[in-house]
Amino acid sequence: MTVSAPAKINLSLRITGKRDDGFHELETLVLPIESLADELTFTESDQFSLHCTTPGVPTDESNLISRSLRLFEKESGFACPYEIHLTKHTPHGAGLGGGSSDAAHTFLALNELTKANIPLETLAAWAGQLGSDIPLFLYQAPCWCRGRGEIIEPTQLEWNRRILLLKPAFSIPTPWAYSRWKESRELPGVSYTKQTACDQILVNDLERPVFEKFQFLAELKQFLLEQTETEAAMMSGSGSTVFAILKDNADAEGLLGSTLGELDPTMWHHITPASDSH
């Protein structure tokens, strides 16, 4: 069995306070990016093993895929002796949820392969033990997520805009970004105001702490906002990906070329088709 594990962007991410458990209280709207996805291939074997050809991706028990499989075995009582091959397309540390999506789709695949028929809400509770943003990927739809991310409400979202995603070589640790949120300040000359696209309000409270230290991302966002092709531009999650939502009939490849040429020709990039998501 081969499954696709799509990335996501946060169209909106508001931090509404600090919780007693140390996490932050969130309200975020997440949009799956179907055209950008890792692939997981499950093959029956004598014992579990994980393989990945991408350098730097751990394939031991520390990987979220491994941890998901072990947790599924423990909670469901089903043995899962599968050889899993991971093909990475979503970059690591990008604010695109690649590892979390891999973990969620491991739960979904094992539930189908073992015929365990675990309800989705139960899988979500298990997934939440491993990471706050893993459960949302189980729903395979745009979602509003609240609490620390565990309160999930799938939503209908009419989305017909192409999106340009850009990520520089560096990554940003999510816990660091949240830890700096309260004390951070806005940079002069950088727009943090709400934007609108496809009738959705776009805002990201984590831009403030991240831009303060990684000013290239602020420069990237401002450059994209100044281009005629761009309807809105924002950082996704805790970064380091910045995305531009494109106007109808905008020249996406032209915008990509000018951005790479002006700022950093080595940036990772992806352009979605107009009907990419739900």
What is the model's pLDDT at position 84?
A: 98
Q: How far is CA 171 from CA 1, 100, 134, 166, 182, in A?
A: 31, 16, 19, 12, 21
Give residue 56's identity as a one-letter amino acid code. Answer: G
Last residue of a domain, one of 137, 154, 171: 154
The strand pair at 82-87 and 49-52 is best described as parallel
Please pick, among 8, 88, 167, 221, the residue that the annotation labels catalytic.
Answer: 8
Whether 146 and 240 map to the same domain: the answer is no
Q: Is 264 a catalytic residue?
A: no
Q: Does 130 share its domain with 215? A: no
Residues 51 and 139 in one domain: yes
Q: Which of 154, 173, 200 is the last residue of a domain?
A: 154
Whether 8 is catalytic: yes
Pair 138, 28 in one domain: yes
pLDDT at position 56 is 87
| Radius of gyration from C-alpha coordinates of the chain | 19
Q: Per the domain annotation, does 251 fall within a domain?
A: yes
- Kindly report, residue by residue over 191-229, the tens digit of the pLDDT: 999 999 999 999 999 999 999 999 999 999 999 999 999
Q: How many C-beta atoms lie closer than 10 Å to residue 136's C-beta?
A: 29
Q: Give the tens place of pLDDT for each residue, 230-257.
A: 999 999 999 999 999 999 999 999 999 9
- Same domain flag for 199 and 117: no
Q: What was the pLDDT predicted at 126?
A: 97
Cβ-contact 231, 88 below 8 angstroms? no
Q: Specify if 239 maps to a domain.
A: yes
DSSP letters of 195-250? EEETTEEEEETTHHHHHHH-HHHHHHHHHHHTSTTEEEEEE-TTSS-EEEEEPTT-
Q: Is residue 278 part of a domain?
A: no
- Which residue is catalytic, options 102, 133, 205, 276? 133
The answer on 9 and 140 residing in a single domain is yes
Residue 9 parent element (H or E):
strand 2-18
**Residue 110, SS3 per DSSP:** helix
Domain boundary among 99, 125, 154: 154
Domain with 226, as residue range(s), is 163-271
The CATH number of residue 113's host domain is 3.30.230.10
277 in a structural domain? no
| Number of domains making up the chain | 2
What pLDDT shows up at residue 276? 66
For 73, the token pair is 């075995």
Counting as low any pLDDT under 70, the low residues of the chain are: 20, 22, 275-278
